[in-house]
Structure 1
Amino acid sequence: MSAQLEVSDRSRSRVLVVLGVSLVILTAYWVLWFAARGAVASNNRDAYIEFENAFPLADAWLAVCVLAAAVALIKRHPTALLWLLAGGGSAIYLFCMDALYDVENGIWWRSGAGGFIELGINVVTLVVGVGLLRWAWRRRVALGGVAN
């Protein structure tokens, strides 16, 4: 069993930065996808476009979780635990969906610079998701969650 950690102001601030940057990246990606697709598209196949067009609702849910987690952390409200866990889990799920498609279709290695950008997005999504889950769970008591 891991020791329970407190939520220091410094630690809370770091998580708030991660949440804020994540929200900005999510928003920027979808603005570019719909306004200047060539800037973010890794491929121009119809199947790829259809696949990516299936993500806005799921990414919107992730954005809701991220925003709600940030607000709850700022207000020091116990729902921060809920929103951090929901956001972390959502990020990992999105990573799994996106990464599997990319691997099956050679997006990372056969799409030039766009493929490497996609790989970077996938890695960041996984790292942020796991990081949020780990940070929140290790501080669940301090955030107002259950003891075990």
Structure 2
Amino acid sequence: MEKPKALAVLQIITGAGIICFWIAFFTVGLAPENPPDGYFAFEHSFPLPDGVLCLGLIASGILLLKGSPKGRTLGLISAGGLLFLGLIDFSFNIQNGMYAMGLGESLPNMFINAWCVGLGAALAVRLGKPISS
């Protein structure tokens, strides 16, 4: 099996980045100064599924680097998780004015949402291609 090294490394970095985000969220506080109603209830629903996603991303990345076909399957599952995460965050942010809170609040949110959707789509396209014989 061909090893998609760049995507494998991006999966590992993304999984580690999501873990770092949650550590920072619960220790130094990454919430906006005036969050919209429901912000904390929304955010607090994500650590468990994000944790599972991180495990999938990191395991898939490692398996892909080793040339294991299991990395491809796990990568496709993780791609769906990233797409869902990026789109649900985008939906919440757009509906609750999170992108209008100033550049300091908006740019990180936009970047994270775009990264999740972009990497998820890239993984789906790249790993979803038939394996050549």
TM-score by length of 2: 0.88
1:61–1:131 Cα change, 3 Å: same
Q: What is the aligned counterpart of 1:15 among 1, 4, 7?
A: 7
The answer on whether the counterparts of 2:8 and 2:62 sit within 8 Å (CA) in structure 1 is no
Q: Specify the code of the residue in structure 2 equivalent to 1:101.
A: F
**Paired residue for 2:49?**
58
2:65 is equivalent to residue 87 of structure 1: no
**Cα deviations by residue, 1:59-113 (Å, 9 ceiling, x for unpaired):** 1121121022022213322211211100000000111211111010010112541
Larger Rg: 1
Range with greater deviation from structure 2 (72-81 or 59-68)? 72-81
The gaps in structure 2 that reach 5 residues or longer are: none
**Paired residue for 2:106?**
115
SS of corresponding position for 2:131? coil
The gaps in structure 1 that reach 5 residues or longer are: 1-5
**Paired residue for 2:95?**
104
1:56–1:111 Cα change, 3 Å: farther
**Paired residue for 1:132?**
123
Q: Specify the code of the residue in structure 2 equivalent to 1:58.
A: P
CA distance in 1, matches of 2:125, 2:54: 19
Runs of 4+ in structure 1 deviating by more than 4 angstroms, as ranges, are: none
Higher relative contact order (CA 8 A, sep 6+): 1
The answer on whether the counterparts of 1:109 and 1:116 sit within 8 Å (CA) in structure 2 is no
Two-structure CA RMSD over aligned residues (Å): 1.9
Q: Percent identity?
A: 21
